[in-house]
């Protein structure tokens, strides 16, 4: 897409979002938005925690494999 069109779409969506939060008749929308945000935060935290746990386990395995490789090289000499 053209960069100007993307900027225009972004501005229109930003204005629409701010308008939804400011217009007093949309209090129901704000309450629903707060409910969704409060429900999503724990899920995102759990997903990030899972990613960090997988990275940590992978690093530990790589470290053990590296130590094993160094030991086999020492024994071979």
pLDDT above 70: residue 1: no
Cα gap 25→34, rounded to integer Å: 16
Structure confidence at residue 22 (pLDDT):
79
Tens of pLDDT, residue by residue over 7-64, are 899 899 898 888 877 777 777 877 888 898 899 999 999 999 999 999 999 888 888 8
Position with higher pLDDT, 66 vs 54: 54
Query: pTM higher than 0.75 for the full model?
Result: no
């Amino acid at each position: 897409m053209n960069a100007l069109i993307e900027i225009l779409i972004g501005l229109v969506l930003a204005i629409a979002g701010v308008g939804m939060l400011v217009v007093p008749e949309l209090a129901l929308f704000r309450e629903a938005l707060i409910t969704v945000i409060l429900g999503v935060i724990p899920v995102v935290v759990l997903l990030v925690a899972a990613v960090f746990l997988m990275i940590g386990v992978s690093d530990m395995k790589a470290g053990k494999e590296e130590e094993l490789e160094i030991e086999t090289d020492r024994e071979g000499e």
